[in-house]
């Protein structure tokens, strides 16, 4: 084995090795990325189920019983970050292609946003999330876990090592803050 | 406002938290009043308004993002790109490993289209290349019409591995079957081709590892083609270190992944069998075998490692009606028709393929194929025998025909036929017999078509009755088949708890076998065992015992194998145990264990089972430590041979819990019992009769520990589950209700207790013989409750019934009969019918005298009771003599303050008092009173009665 495995890396992260975090991210990102595409390719309805992806990766990488709860937390935190990164990368790429190429065809259903508006919204959300991270990292992490990785309240609580009630409270607060920011941006 | 400072944020945060705790219309005013700083105030107001909004965060990120995440992970190679000797035509798909292209030969040597699989660059290229070189010859040699051929493989200019495979145009097998509206048989036939291809590869030591519908394409001509054979292996982590902690990016798909793949354990041909089972499941029923509800991480792991897939027929039954009709229509059947077609053999074949333990599946695709071939030819399938007990219990016990009974009967039947083939029968004869028997049963079920009797379900009991009747009236094949059938139907009655019917059929099977084979034949021994167990279940222990002994003699003479001997010993052990011959029972169980070790190995499940039996006897003998040791040993064995979560382990844990309970170690009992219940909850997320029993026992442990509320909640849960699985009309329901009654009784809610006990009794009465131990227990309970409610006539009648039943069962001179007489006496005494009371006590006394002689506690206690009745009839002198004898003996046996001494002293005191001897009465009554106070408390009615006597005496 030339590359260190996920478990070893998780262990190293747990031991406070900052380089391991990068290695882990490098390892997870392509895997999640590939799975996201894979899922889109095989899925007729063309939806992306990030929850399933994160769990699938977990099943593949971190085998049954092989990791401590600390490791699992790191794993989910990183997965959530990776998913966020993957999605924002694509949103940016899409917008770049769009605006560069001047293709303007978007389908607008009543009540749904156009693809372009969705991409815009994701980019805006990402920016506000970055600011929230600076202000209150835990709230931002809750959003990453819930929104990007698709974990439910209990799973997010497990991944953060806090009570479910805390996650609920944080989530509500984070939502309110982000929406208040996003709406003011739109108003500008 | 730009981003708030930390102190501002902390103020904003806490204001928001406080505000959302208030009703919505008060929030804004609260913030306005609480905060001076307008900037902070505005922020919180804005947040409160935003709190009510819905937006992007309420959507699934996948929905939001799906449109602009393109389905090709790598920079797609443009058409015309050359990877010598191939040229890309267009991309055709993407998978976890990389992208697949349609490509053609660039050198024009052949006019050949290939599927070019280009491996993603982030994979560990070096290792894959090395392994590819090792494997390519083997893979290239796979030459089968249903396997897409591996043509070539190499490394691209930029160092990425690629494979060139035969290009297959077609649809995934499941989609193809639906599009073509293939019927069940056609689907099985298509799938058999798949099995044949996998079997072919497995014979050449190639395991696929990633079988799934998208890897099995069906061409427009209807030929299945398997893709990617052996390729998954190339991606496995270092195979020289196949230890459990290894990890890596193995390729498999959760929907079809076998437990050993998730655990990272050894991959075998049975791993492919599991995936094939999943595909067959889907192909037949339109559903996936495992559908974890929340798809959470824990959910998936549990599902793959622990959850039993629902039998395909049940999966179908759970599908919403419209969808079910559509699924059936795609198979050219009605929903009911499809369900009928799938139940039985196909359900069993799928079940056997999907077992968690690899060694309990078909060992290879070839074995699976054999069973499917047999199915198509109408022959018995192999899937049945090992699961006979499990299936029959699980399904027939539901007491409904519905889906399951048919499967279970056919299954049990074949089990019976195959199980007898160990003796000199030729295999074909056995198969022929089984076929005849199958035909008979199938005809039975055709009659039971729910369409023929719409609006009601036929119970398993009715079905069996019909079968039994037909056995009488119709000629069923030859005499051998007939005896098989008798035995099978008898066994099913047994499972339903219909013991008299079971007994009758086993008797007839025995007669038939005696006539056919003579008295010394192993089949006769087998029937003797069956009959014995049916009688044992009806509490006719002596009968059972002699039958088991005859069976043993035959087995010994025939030199039967160790497995049969082990069974015979275990039977004898259970009879001895019920007869109260505990030492003998322990001896038999020990022998059973030795034989089991010989037959199945010293660390086998069979040995563990014998140890569990042994523990039961040890516990009853009071040897709790020995019982504990036996159970621990059984647990250790199961932990070796079973997965970590398994019903056998749950059962041993439960036994250990009960042991601790008996030993009075409440905490440990509760801990173990909870562990056992938790395990069963995981094993049976949708409930199960075994789980219901476990919950009930936990309830009992808590109840005896005084936690009545929790106990009651558990009893109710157990009752609901029992009702769901076994229906209202079942013995287990009665036992659960009886448990609730005991809670009511402890709570002094006597009316409720009585009602519950009556309900339980009515059920027992319908299902158990009149002299069954459970029925007797509940009668005892009913009588005690009636007595406490002051219903002396009712209590007396119940005790009298007990006297009758017990006399018939045990003979007149039996302690249980005497005890029932005491009950009659007490009830009559409460009603002040003194002559009847006296007569009852006299009968009890004479039994005790006969059994134990004059100097025995029970004899003395009976005298004490008798004294009162004799006195109240008017003869206080005789009463005094009688009470004095009791008191004298008991005083010698127990300390003065003991309840029994106090009770005798009270009666003697009363007799003296009534005879006018106050001086003698007073000290006796005073001493009795302190004994009563200690035993029952000051406020108890009995204590108060003694106090009154003492007051009169003084």
* Residue B299 in this model has a pLDDT that exceeds 50: yes
- Is the CB of residue B665 less than 8 Å from the CB of residue B674? no
Cβ–Cβ below 8 Å for A55 and B122: no
H helices present in B86-213, as ranges: 125-140, 173-179, 184-203
Q: Tell me what pLDDT residue A69 has.
A: 64
- Average pLDDT of chain B, as a whole number: 79
Q: What is the pLDDT of residue B643?
A: 81
User: Which of B62, B95, B96 lies at the smallest CB-CB distance from A47?
Assistant: B62
Residue with tokens 């014979």: B203
Chain B residue closest in CA terms to A31: B96
Residue B213 CB burial class (10 angstroms; 0-12, 13-18, ≥19): buried
- In angstroms, the CA A157 to CA A152 distance is 8
> Which range is least confidently modeled, B83-87, B127-131, B154-158?
B127-131
B210 is catalytic: yes
Q: Chain B contact for A71, CB < 8 A?
A: no
A34 part of contact set with chain B, CB < 8 Å: yes
Total Cβ atoms within 10 A of residue B704: 15
CA B889 to chain centre: 52
Which of B39, B62, B97, B119 should be substituted to probe chain A, the one whose Cβ sees the most A Cβ atoms within 10 Å?
Answer: B62
Higher pLDDT, B355 or B480: B355
Q: Which residues of A touch B7 (CB under 8 A)?
A: none
Our CA-based measurement puts residue B649 at a distance from the nearest CA of chain A, in whole angstroms, of 19
Q: Decide: A45 and B285 in contact? Cβ < 8 Å.
A: no
Query: Mean pLDDT lowest for which of A22-26, B625-629, B878-882, B905-909?
Result: A22-26
Interface of B with A in 41-100 (CB under 8 A): 43, 46-51, 53, 55-57, 60-73, 93-96
pLDDT band at residue A16 under the 50/70/90 scheme: low
pLDDT of residue B350: 92
Min distance A13 CA to chain B CA atoms (Å): 17
B424 touches chain A (CB under 8 A): no
Say what the ipTM of the complex is: 0.80
Give the model's pLDDT for residue B926.
94
Is it the case that residue B34 has pLDDT exceeding 70? yes
Q: Which residues of B touch A37 (CB under 8 A)?
A: 69-73, 94
Does the pLDDT at position B369 exceed 70? Answer: yes
Least confident of B427-431, B882-886, B948-952: B427-431
Confidence check: pLDDT of B218 > 60? yes
pLDDT tier for residue B894 given thresholds of 50, 70 and 90: confident
User: Quick one: pLDDT at residue B706?
Assistant: 80
What is the C-alpha separation between B760 and B770, in angstroms, rounded? Answer: 14
The reported pLDDT for the residue numbered B460 is 54
pLDDT band at B253 (very low <50, low <70, confident <90, very high): low
Of the candidate ranges A84-88, B175-179, B366-370, B382-386, the one whose mean pLDDT is the lowest = B382-386
Select from A35, A135, A147 the Cβ nearest to the Cβ of B61: A147
Between B71, B257, B300, which is nearest A55 by CB? B300
> Which helix or strand (DSSP H or E) is residue B88 part of?
strand B86-94
Nearest Cα residue to A24 out of A68, A79, A70, A63? A79
Residue B871 pLDDT level (bands cut at 50, 70, 90): very high
Hey, are the CB atoms on B69 and A87 less than 8 Å from each other? yes
pTM of the model: 0.41
Q: What pLDDT is attached to residue B487?
A: 81
A5: nearest CB among B66, B248, B252: B248
Contact of A64 with chain B, judged by CB distance below 8 Å, is answered with yes
Structure tokens at B52: 């009510």
Separation CA B326–CA B393 (nearest Å): 32
Q: A116 CA to chain B: closest CA distance, Å?
A: 9
Residues B254, A59: C-beta atoms closer than 8 Å: yes
Section B67-95 average pLDDT: 68
Q: Which helix (DSSP H) or strand (DSSP E) does residue B844 occupy? A: helix B834-852
pLDDT 10s digits, B688-704: 777 888 899 899 889 87
Report pLDDT for B607.
93
> Exactly one of B210, B272, B371, B494 is catalytic; which is it?
B210
Mean pLDDT, range B518-528, rounded to an integer: 89
Tokens 């056992």 correspond to: B676
pLDDT at A68: 63
Residue B496: band (very low, low, confident or very high) from pLDDT cuts 50, 70, 90: low
Section B662-666 average pLDDT: 79
pLDDT score at B421: 23
Q: Which of B20, B58, B66, B251 to mutate to test the interface with A (most CBs of A within 10 A)?
A: B66
Lowest mean pLDDT segment, chosen from A69-73, B79-83, B654-658? A69-73
Is residue B237 scored above 50 in pLDDT?
A: no
Q: Is the omega angle on the peptide bond into residue B85 within 30 degrees of 0, that is, cis?
A: yes
Question: What integer pLDDT is reported at residue B458 of this predicted model?
Answer: 44
Three-class SS of B361-388? CCCCHHHHHHHHHHHHCCCCCCCCHHHH
Query: Could you tell me if B126 and B159 are in contact, meaning their C-beta atoms sit under 8 angstroms apart?
Result: no
- Give the pLDDT band of residue B445 (cuts 50, 70, 90): very low
A115 touches chain B (CB under 8 A): yes
**Residues of chain A with C-beta less than 8 angstroms from the C-beta of B179:** none
What average pLDDT score do residues A45-73 get? Answer: 60
Grade residue B486 by pLDDT with cuts at 50, 70 and 90: confident
Query: Do A66 and B296 count as a contact with CB atoms less than 8 A apart?
Result: no
> Distance between CA B513 and CA B527 in Å, rounded?
8
pLDDT of amino acid B716: 92
pLDDT of residue B66: 64
Chain B residues with CB-CB distance to A48 below 8 A: 60-63, 65-66, 69
Distance from CA of A91 to the nearest CA of B (A): 6
Mean pLDDT comparison of B448-462, B480-494, B611-625, highest-scoring range: B611-625
For A50, phi then psi, to 5°, come to: -65, -30
**A46 touching B (Cβ < 8 Å):** yes
**B817 and B807 in contact (C-beta within 8 Å)?**
yes
Tell me the mean pLDDT in the region B247-276. 73
B823-848 residue pLDDT tens: 999 999 999 999 999 999 999 999 99
B636 interfacial to chain A (CB closer than 8 Å): no
Across the interface, of B43, B46, B305, the residue whose CB is closest to A64 is B305
pLDDT band at B234 (very low <50, low <70, confident <90, very high): low
Query: Is the sign of the CA dihedral A129, A131, A132, A138 positive or negative?
Result: positive
Q: For residue B558, what are its two tokens?
A: 């025939």
Kindly state whether B13 is in contact with chain A, defined as any CB-CB distance less than 8 angstroms: yes
Say if A1 is an interface residue toward chain B (CB within 8 Å): yes
Q: What is the pLDDT of residues A68-104, one digit of tens each?
A: 666 677 777 877 887 888 778 777 777 765 544 333 3
pLDDT band at B551 (very low <50, low <70, confident <90, very high): very high
Mean pLDDT of all residues in B449-458: 38
Chain A residues 8-27 with a CB less than 8 Å from chain B: none
Given this model, what pLDDT does residue B570 score?
94
CA B485 to CA B108: how far, in whole Å? 69
Question: A176 at the B interface (CB within 8 A)?
Answer: yes
Contact A122 B65 (CB under 8 A): yes
With CB atoms and an 8 Å threshold, state whether A55 touches B124. no
Model confidence at B592, in pLDDT bands (50, 70, 90)? very high
Q: Say what the pLDDT of residue B275 is.
A: 94
Set of chain A residues whose Cβ sits within 8 Å of the Cβ of B21: none
Residues in chain A within 8 Å Cβ distance of B236: none
């Amino acid at each position: 084995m030339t590359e260190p495995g996920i478990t070893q890396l998780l262990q190293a992260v747990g031991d406070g090795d900052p380089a391991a975090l990068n290695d882990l991210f490098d390892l997870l990102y392509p895997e999640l990325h590939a799975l996201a595409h894979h899922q889109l390719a095989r899925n007729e309805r063309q939806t992306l189920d990030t929850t399933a992806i994160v769990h699938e990766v977990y099943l593949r990488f971190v085998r049954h019983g092989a990791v401590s709860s600390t490791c699992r937390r790191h794993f989910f935190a990183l997965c959530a970050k990776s998913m966020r990164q993957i999605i924002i990368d694509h949103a940016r790429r899409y917008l770049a292609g769009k605006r560069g190429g001047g293709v303007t065809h978007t389908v607008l259903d009543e009540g749904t946003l156009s693809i372009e508006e969705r991409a815009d919204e994701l980019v805006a959300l990402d920016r506000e999330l970055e600011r929230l991270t600076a202000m209150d990292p835990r709230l931002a992490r809750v959003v990453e876990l819930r929104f990007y990785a698709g974990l439910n309240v209990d799973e997010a609580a497990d991944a953060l090592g806090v009570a479910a009630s805390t996650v609920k409270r944080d989530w509500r607060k984070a939502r309110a803050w982000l929406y208040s920011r996003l709406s003011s941006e739109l108003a500008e | 406002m730009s981003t708030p400072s930390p102190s501002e944020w902390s103020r904003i945060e806490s204001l928001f938290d406080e505000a959302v705790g208030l009703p919505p219309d008060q929030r804004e005013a609260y913030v306005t009043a609480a905060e001076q700083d307008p900037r902070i105030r505005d922020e919180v107001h804005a947040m409160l308004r935003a709190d009510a909004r819905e937006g992007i965060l309420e959507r699934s990120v996948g929905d939001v993002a799906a449109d602009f995440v393109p389905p090709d992970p790598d920079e797609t190679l443009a058409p015309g790109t050359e990877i010598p000797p191939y040229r890309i035509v267009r991309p055709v798909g993407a998978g976890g490993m990389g992208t697949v292209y349609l490509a053609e030969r660039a050198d024009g040597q052949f006019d050949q289209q290939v599927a070019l699989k280009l491996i993603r660059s982030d994979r560990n290229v070096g290792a894959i290349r090395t392994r590819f070189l090792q494997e390519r010859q083997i893979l290239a040699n796979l030459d089968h019409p249903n396997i897409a051929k591996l043509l070539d493989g190499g490394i691209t200019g930029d160092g990425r591995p690629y494979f060139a495979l035969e290009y297959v145009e077609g649809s995934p097998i499941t989609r193809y079957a639906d599009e073509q509206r293939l019927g069940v048989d056609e689907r099985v036939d298509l799938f058999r081709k798949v099995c044949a291809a996998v079997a072919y590869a497995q014979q050449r030591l190639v395991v696929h590892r990633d079988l799934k519908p998208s890897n099995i394409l069906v061409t427009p001509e209807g030929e299945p083609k398997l893709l990617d054979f052996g390729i998954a292996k190339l991606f496995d982590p270092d195979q020289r270190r196949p230890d459990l902690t290894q990890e890596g990016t193995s390729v498999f798909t959760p929907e079809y992944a076998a437990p050993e793949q998730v655990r990272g354990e050894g991959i075998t041909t049975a791993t492919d069998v599991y995936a094939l089972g999943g595909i067959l499941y889907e192909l037949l029923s339109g559903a996936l075998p495992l559908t974890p509800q929340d798809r959470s991480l824990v959910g998936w792991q549990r599902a793959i490692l622990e959850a039993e897939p629902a039998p395909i027929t049940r999966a179908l039954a759970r599908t919403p009606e419209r969808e079910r009709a559509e699924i059936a229509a795609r198979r050219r059947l009605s929903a009911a028709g499809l369900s009928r077609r799938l139940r039985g053999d196909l359900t069993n074949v799928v079940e056997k393929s999907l077992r968690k333990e690899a060694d309990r599946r078909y060992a290879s695709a070839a074995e699976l194929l054999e069973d499917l071939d047999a199915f198509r030819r109408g022959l018995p399938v192999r899937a049945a025998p090992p699961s006979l007990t499990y299936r029959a219990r699980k399904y027939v016990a539901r007491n409904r025909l519905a889906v399951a009974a048919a499967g279970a009967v056919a299954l049990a039947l074949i089990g019976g036929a195959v199980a007898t083939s160990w003796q000199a029968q030729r295999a074909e004869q056995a198969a022929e017999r089984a076929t005849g028997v199958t035909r008979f049963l199938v005809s039975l079920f055709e009659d039971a078509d729910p369409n023929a009797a719409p609006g009601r379900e036929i119970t398993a009991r009715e079905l069996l009755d019909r079968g039994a009747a037909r056995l009488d009236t119709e000629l069923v094949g030859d005499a051998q088949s007939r005896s098989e059938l008798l035995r099978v139907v008898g066994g099913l009655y047994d499972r339903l708890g219909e013991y008299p019917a079971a007994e009758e059929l086993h008797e007839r099977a025995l007669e038939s076998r005696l006539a056919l084979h003579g008295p010394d034949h192993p089949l006769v021994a087998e029937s003797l065992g069956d009959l014995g167990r049916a009688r044992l279940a009806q509490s006719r222990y002596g009968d059972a015992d002699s039958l088991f002994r005859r069976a043993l003699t035959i087995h010994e003479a025939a030199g039967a194998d160790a497995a049969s001997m082990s069974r015979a010993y275990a039977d004898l052990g259970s009879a001895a145990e019920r007869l109260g011959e505990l030492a003998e029972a322990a001896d038999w169980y020990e022998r059973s264990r030795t034989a089991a070790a010989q037959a199945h190995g010293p660390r086998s499940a069979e040995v563990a089972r014998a140890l569990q039996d042994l523990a039961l006897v040890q516990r009853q003998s009071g040897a709790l430590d020995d019982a504990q040791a036996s159970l621990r040993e059984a647990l250790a064995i199961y932990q070796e041979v079973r997965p970590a979560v398994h019903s056998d382990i749950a059962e041993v844990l439960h036994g250990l819990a009960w042991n601790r309970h008996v030993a009075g170690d409440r905490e440990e009992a509760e801990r173990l019992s909870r562990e056992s219940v938790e395990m069963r909850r995981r094993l049976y997320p949708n409930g199960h009769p075994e789980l219901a029993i476990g919950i009930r026992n936990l309830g009992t442990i808590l109840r005896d520990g005084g936690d009545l509320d929790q106990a009651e909640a558990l009893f109710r849960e157990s009752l609901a589950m029992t009702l769901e699985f076994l229906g209202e009309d079942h013995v287990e329901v009665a036992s659960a209700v009886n448990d609730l009654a005991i809670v009511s009784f402890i709570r002094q809610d006597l009316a409720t207790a009585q009602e519950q006990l009556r309900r339980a009794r009515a059920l027992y009465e319908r299902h158990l013989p009149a002299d069954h131990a459970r029925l007797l227990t509940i009668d005892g309970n009913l009588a005690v409750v009636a007595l406490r409610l002051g219903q002396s006539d009712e209590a007396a009648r119940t005790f009298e019934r007990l006297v009758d039943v017990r006399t018939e069962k045990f003979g007149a001179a039996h302690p249980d009969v005497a005890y029932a007489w005491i009950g009659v006496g007490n009830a009559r005494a409460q009603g002040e019918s003194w002559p009847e009371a006296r007569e009852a006590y006299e009968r009890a006394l004479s039994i005790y005298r006969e059994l134990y002689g004059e100097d025995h506690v029970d004899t003395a206690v009976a005298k004490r009771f008798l004294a009162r009745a004799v006195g109240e009839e008017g003869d206080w002198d005789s009463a005094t003599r009688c009470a004095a004898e009791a008191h004298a003996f008991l005083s010698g046996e127990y300390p003065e303050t003991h309840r029994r001494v106090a009770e005798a002293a009270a009666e003697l005191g009363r007799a003296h008092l009534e005879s006018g001897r106050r001086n003698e009465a007073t000290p006796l009554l005073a001493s009795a009173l302190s004994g009563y106070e200690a035993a029952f408390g000051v406020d108890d009615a009995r204590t108060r009665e003694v106090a009154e006597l003492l007051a009169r005496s003084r």
